[in-house]
Structure 1
Amino acid sequence: MKKFFALALSLMMAFSLVACGSGNTPAASAGSATGSAEGSAAVSDANVGVFYYSFSDTYISSVRTALDAQLEAAGLKYQDYDGNSNQTTQNEQIDTAITSGTTLLIVNLVTSGSSDSAAAIAEKAKTAGIPVIFFNRAVEEDGKEGTVLGAYDNIAFVGTDAPEAGHMQGQMIGQYVVDNYDAMDLNGDGKISYAMFKGDASNVEAIYRTQYGVEDANTIIEAAGKPALTYFDASNTDGFQLDLQGNWSAQAANEYMTTNLSQYTEANGNMIELIICNNDNMAEGCISALNAAGYNLGSGQDGKTIPVFGVDATDSAKQLIADGKMTGTIKQDADGMAEAITYLASNAAAGKDLMDSTDSYTKDTANNLNNKIFIAYQAYSG
């Protein structure tokens, strides 16, 4: 981090801001600044294309805000593109950007965990002779690590270690349940019934969060001599409810939870007593449904609170936790991710290797991928 801020400071001191043209399409937005600690011609000539899977995703919006600010501080001209959850749209945007003179691709892949989709974009970058930095959404399937990231010298990934959030969430939930077991057991049957909201079926983050959020919680709960968590709907053998659009949306979670609460109630003796969500958007949707049913009204309000856990630590989730409506979340560090991306982008703009002077970052050493940076998660409960 010190290296980045030193570079950013020298960039801002050496050059003044200049304006850049606006995007040509509604799906793009632009920003710029100039400067360089070394290789000023390279930095001033840099033209960065940043491709987001969807502007509407709350967490991705926080990354976009942070990344826009840090690219400007580093003196890098950039343009943002909204893939609108469509891989074909994103591919076409990348083609157009390369034709228009983009010198660096920063890509939040629409089809998460697809080595085919990622390889196609990497090949476009390789053919154009420009670097590509993937971020946030996995570019390779489990067991295929290095298929894309090891096939092109001028490529990198900045994201998270997928299982980590699930493990951390599971540990947070497990300890909370042990500490509050009797209060949570609303129907007095000696066990805790939970609902799980997965998000995207193929997303590796969603897969691991779904698995470890429950498994790790049960390890702690059973070690304390309590029965393992029980999924609320015995007829659902998957053990989760899925956003069929793959958007991790508050709306989908709200609709599911509203339906759940029409059938599973304290009066019926089968109340859902714990809610686990793979992101904060879905947690917010569940809380809205709970509010409508008279639960989770906040600190100092009448009524009971069903523990709700999410992932991302968005600003709105933090406020819900502060208000006593949500129990906890796992912070996915948008600022840290933006900082690492900008550091690599600054290396590229200065004519350096993408991974120059990045030894301080955590890498995927298990798969011997020095060009894969992990940004750590953090537990957050207020």
Structure 2
Amino acid sequence: MKKKLALALAAVMMIGLFAGCGGNKTASSSNAAGSQASSGSAAQAEELNVGVFYYDFSDVYISSVRASMDEQLTAMGVKFTNYDAAGSQPSQTEQVNTAITGGTNLLIVNIVETATSDPAKDIVDAAKAAGIPVIFFNREVADNDVINSYDKCAFVGTNAPDAGHMQGEMIGNYLMEHYDEVDLNGDGVISYVMFKGQEGNAEAEARTQYGVEDADAILTAAGKPALSYYDASASTKYLVDTAGKWSAQAANDYMVSLLGSYNEDNGNMVELIICNNDGMAEGAISALQNVGYNNGEGTTIIPVFGVDATDSAKALIKAGNMTGSIKQDAVGMATTIMTLVQNAKDGAELMANTGSFTVDADVAKIRVPYAMYDANTQD
């Protein structure tokens, strides 16, 4: 009798042991599957492990997107980790590969390198090999080489030319209303400088081109001369942040240097400043303020235009120290990305539930709209 009881107890223990091993194996397999379809959104919420890869934490606009994304991911109840590439594509690529190896099963990528599609393609290939979705955002990536190469790949960003067109329109209209006061030396021509964020970046290229072209179109249609670049001998009509960081420091350094030669005393003062983003606009304004401009009421205001409408830029505009910006909606960017994250969490197609957004016709790209922002804009 004792022998039979012992055998029965042993059998129960063996059944429990096998059940435990089977349970662990199922959990491991589910985690590896990542965002692939499974039953129950509650289970998927536990499994979703998001890696968010930013090109540079120091970028003011990107910091705004990150703050909103952190808040919304936390509210969604998913696990996530932020990564700072600090402007280095090799670092970001390594971060992505390490994250995938560590169990990340949804990639959200703010790509560093935009002059070539190779880095984004490498990340897509890594995601495809792991069978996990990848969402690129903010910095444009190629249609066919990247987005269309994988059915679990999408992009959330803006329509790059729109910011340049809006900025050019804003500048042209402002100059038509304030031409004589902007023309400090009275020569009938507005002298400008353009601060470009990065070579080869779609947003930077469009803003640099259309910010001037569209302003010129308004001016010349009214019989005014086109804008004149401050340095007539320059081979390129912009000053670029050579580090590709769109930084306030780069614009400040350029502005401090050029003010030594181009100023009111010499009769050749830069009369208009156009910037690809608000960070560079703020750097230029700081240099102007150091020599007595743009300090508010009672001081000469050199019109400065940027893009992003960050909180700090809005404050400068409201104070009269900056003229205008083009709003790139950081919260809207994050909220749109969250729609795709929710799809991944629920096991749905990545581009499900996007009917209310502006989506490109032949590629999984969602466009978040820009808007003009000046002192009359109501927040």
Shift of residue 306, structure 1, vs aligned partner: 0.2
User: Could you tell me which residue of structure 1 aligns to residue 263 of structure 2?
Assistant: 265
* Structure 1 position 72 matched with structure 2 position 74: yes
For the 8 Å contact 2:45–2:78, the answer to whether it is kept is yes
* Structure 1 position 285 matched with structure 2 position 283: yes
Size of the alignment, in residue pairs? 337
User: Could you tell me which residue of structure 1 aligns to residue 212 of structure 2?
Assistant: 214
For the 8 Å contact 1:113–1:138, the answer to whether it is kept is no
For the 8 Å contact 2:115–2:199, the answer to whether it is kept is no
Q: How does 1:18-33 map to 2 (within 5 A)?
A: none
User: Could you tell me which residue of structure 1 aligns to residue 7 of structure 2?
Assistant: none
Task: Give the aligned CA root-mean-square deviation in angstroms.
Answer: 1.1
Q: How does 1:1-382 map to 2 (within 5 A)?
A: 39-140=41-142, 145-298=143-296, 300=297, 302-365=298-361, 368-369=362-363, 371-382=364-375
Shift of residue 297, structure 1, vs aligned partner: 0.5
User: Could you tell me which residue of structure 2 aligns to residue 17 of structure 1?
Assistant: none
CA distance in 1, matches of 2:259, 2:216: 24
**Cα-to-partner distance string for 1:122-180 (whole Å, 9 max, x where unaligned):** 0000001100000001112xxxx322111100000000101010000000000001111
Shift of residue 38, structure 1, vs aligned partner: 5.3
TM normalised by structure 2 equals: 0.87
CA distance in 1, matches of 2:178, 2:91: 48
CA distance in 2, matches of 1:139, 1:115: 7
Letter in 1 for 2:103: G
Letter in 2 for 1:68: D
Letter in 1 for 2:263: T
**Cα-to-partner distance string for 1:244-263 (whole Å, 9 max, x where unaligned):** 11111111100100111110
CA distance in 2, matches of 1:332, 1:197: 18
Bigger proportion of residues as helix: 2
Runs of 4+ with >4 A deviation: none
Letter in 2 for 1:374: R
CA distance in 2, matches of 1:288, 1:38: 54
TM normalised by structure 1 equals: 0.87
Which structure 2 segments of 5+ residues have no match? Answer: 1-38
Which structure 1 segments of 5+ residues have no match? Answer: 1-36
User: Could you tell me which residue of structure 2 aligns to residue 9 of structure 1?
Assistant: none
Secondary structure of 1:187's counterpart equals coil
